[in-house]
Chain A
Amino acid sequence: MPTLPQIPQSLYFALSAILFTIGAVGVITRRNAIIIFMCLELMLNGVNLAFIAAGSALNSLDGVIFVFFVMTVAAAEAAVGLAIFVMIFRLKGSVNVDQINLLKG
């Protein structure tokens, strides 16, 4: 029976690139602001996975610390962003980003 090698680090980076791309395509193609927000969270998760994989490859905990701060920012962003969506829904009756053009000249 042939022995399997250890999982190469590049596979983890490739997985994080796949997740980031799926999130980016979602941000581009979807028009519902809340789904765009969820796709942003998925992109953040792809980046977090790359941080953890690099930290694990280098025997360092700095990647974990950075992911911790990314999670903090994501939590603050979720609170403020969803409050903005609720306010926009009250104002316009919709969260379709094509209809949110208050700043358009």
Chain B
Amino acid sequence: MIATTFSWLVFIGAGLVAIVASLLMVTRRNPVHSALWLIVAFFSIAIIYISLNAQFIAVAQVIVYAGAIMMLILFVIMLIHLEREQELTGKITGAKIVASFITIILFLEIVAAVLSFRVTGMKGPFTPEMVNGFGNVRAVGMVLYGKYMFPFEIASILLLIGIVGAVVLSKRRKE
């Protein structure tokens, strides 16, 4: 009973923080403020991952998203000085309003589909009790290095291509 109430409180709190932080991220003028609000949203999504019993992904979310990717974005924002950009963002055209309206219709469609949809299908073997018996990370590792070995290797090649591409693109060319 108390555990259920607590999980509701965690879900509502983290969900509201995520929504408000992402709204602020979209509306702030200053890109540095946007990036900081996005970090807040990533942290609260990590809390929701923990409440869904996915500890490994929660930690990876904090390290990879809130740590590595956002640090890269902040570096680039500060590298290319964007003071002049700030006054360019204010224009609201009719096309933007129509496109936002269509996106909100898409959102209502998704919500209608979700509320009338029940997750069915065969249940897997990884019940929370069984996973917590030997740890989430170990369970993820068993699946990742067993059934998903080949996609894992391809992901490493993708990261290598990403490194090479970033170095090649940002190298200064001699004219």
Q: Give the chain A neighbours of B64 by CB distance below 8 A.
A: 71, 74-75
Residue of B whose beta carbon sits closest to that of A55: B54
Instruction: Report the tally of A-B residue pairs with Cβ distances under 8 A.
Output: 229
A58 with B121: CB separation less than 8 A: yes
Compute how far the CA of A47 lies from the CA of B49 in the bound complex, rounded to whole angstroms. 13
List A residues 11-40 near B (Cβ within 8 Å): 11-15, 17-26, 28-32, 34-35, 37-39
Q: Which residue of B lies closest to A53 (CB)?
A: B52
Interface residues on A, range: 35 or more
B residues near A7, Cβ cutoff 8 Å: 7-8, 11
With a cutoff of 8 Å between Cβ atoms, the chain A residues found around residue B88 in the complex are 31-32, 96, 98
- Measured between C-beta atoms, what is the minimum distance from B141 to chain A in Å? 10
Q: Are A52 and B52 in contact (CB under 8 A)?
A: yes
**Minimum C-beta distance from B35 to chain A (A):** 6
**Chain A 84-101 against B: per-residue CB contact (8 Å), 1 yes, 0 no?**
111101000011101000
A89 partner residues in chain B, CB cutoff 8 A: 80
Tell me which residues across on chain B come within 8 A of A13, comparing CB atoms: 110, 114, 117
Given A41-B69, A58-B123, do A25 and B158 touch, yes or no (CB 8 Å)? no
User: When A and B form their complex, which 4 residue pairs have the shortest distance between CB atoms, in order from nearest?
Assistant: A76-B162, A60-B124, A21-B107, A83-B169
